Structure 1
Amino acid sequence: MLAIVSAIIFGLGFLLDLLNTRIAGGISGTTFMLLGLCLLALHQAGVGTASIRKSYGSWRGRSRR
């Protein structure tokens, strides 16, 4: 989920950089790029990837045998 959000943030930053525009408050394409990198780092660290069901004991769930 965080990877999808970071892709959207990267897209917005890319558009802002192409158009050479800034949002009020000094937010530019570089700001969106850094936010996207932060979200990708959280995704790679495993934040937000845990399973909802915790009764099976692991994030993969029950394996079939």
Structure 2
Amino acid sequence: MLAIAAAIVFGIAFLFSLIGTSIGISTTALLALGLCLLALHQGGIGTRSVSGGNWRSSRRTRR
């Protein structure tokens, strides 16, 4: 989920850079926010499961 948010932030920063518009926050700040969101996603925060497995499959293997 955080990777999708980072992609949206990067897209907005790219559009602002192309248009030359500012909304009170710099393009560099938006890029830093996007990189922070990507780092959190890579760290496993905001993901459904850190192991990447399905909760049903892990439940079946325990029985």
| TM-score bracket for the superposition, by shorter chain length | 0.7 to 0.9
TM-score using structure 2 length: 0.74
- TM-score, length of structure 1 as denominator length: 0.72
Q: Structure 1 unaligned segments of length 5 or more: list them.
A: 52-57
Higher relative contact order (CA 8 A, sep 6+): 2
| Runs of 4+ with deviation above 4 angstroms | none
Aligned length: 57
Quote the offset at 1:59 in angstroms: 6.0
Question: How far off is 1:49 after superposition?
Answer: 1.2
Q: Which runs of 5+ in 2 are unaligned?
A: none
